């Protein structure tokens, strides 16, 4: 039962999504918790939401994926 946490961070609209056995279990945008439109910060609240919805803990996550190479954005500054 591989559990994969997908992240989008450090750009506009940060978010987290959790898949287990190829099925999306939970997903959320960070702005829903911070009430900061297009929140670019690390999606800690969205991650916590996904874990709570799934009943999993951080130790249960097998892989973490990013949509992009977020640190490349910092190199452009």
User: What is the full per-residue pLDDT of the chain (77 aa) written as tens digits?
Assistant: 799 999 998 878 999 999 999 999 999 999 999 999 999 999 999 999 999 999 999 999 999 998 776 667 667 66
Across all residues in the chain, what is the average pLDDT?
91
The radius of gyration of the chain from alpha carbons, rounded to an integer in Å, stands at 13
pLDDT in tens, 11-33: 789 999 999 999 999 999 999 99
Domains located in the chain, CATH noted: 3-75 (3.30.420.40)
Query: Which residue is it, tokens 């803990």?
Result: 57
Backbone angles phi, psi at 71, to 5 degrees: -75, -15
State phi, psi for 52 to the nearest 5 degrees: -65, -45
Catalytic annotation, pick one of 11, 12, 24, 66: 12
Residue 12 has a pLDDT of 82
DSSP 18: E
**Among this protein's residues, is 38 annotated catalytic?**
no
Q: Note the pLDDT of residue 43.
A: 96
What pTM, to 2 d.p., does this model score? 0.84
Beta strand spans in the chain (E): 3-8, 15-20, 23-29, 63-66
């Amino acid at each position: 039962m591989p559990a994969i946490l997908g992240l989008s961070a450090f750009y506009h609209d940060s978010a987290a999504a959790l898949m287990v056995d190829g099925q999306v279990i939970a997903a959320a945008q960070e702005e829903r918790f911070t009430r900061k439109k297009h929140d670019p910060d690390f999606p800690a609240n969205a991650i916590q939401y996904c874990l709570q919805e799934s009943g999993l803990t951080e130790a249960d996550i097998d892989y973490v994926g990013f949509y992009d190479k977020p640190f490349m954005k910092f190199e452009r500054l």
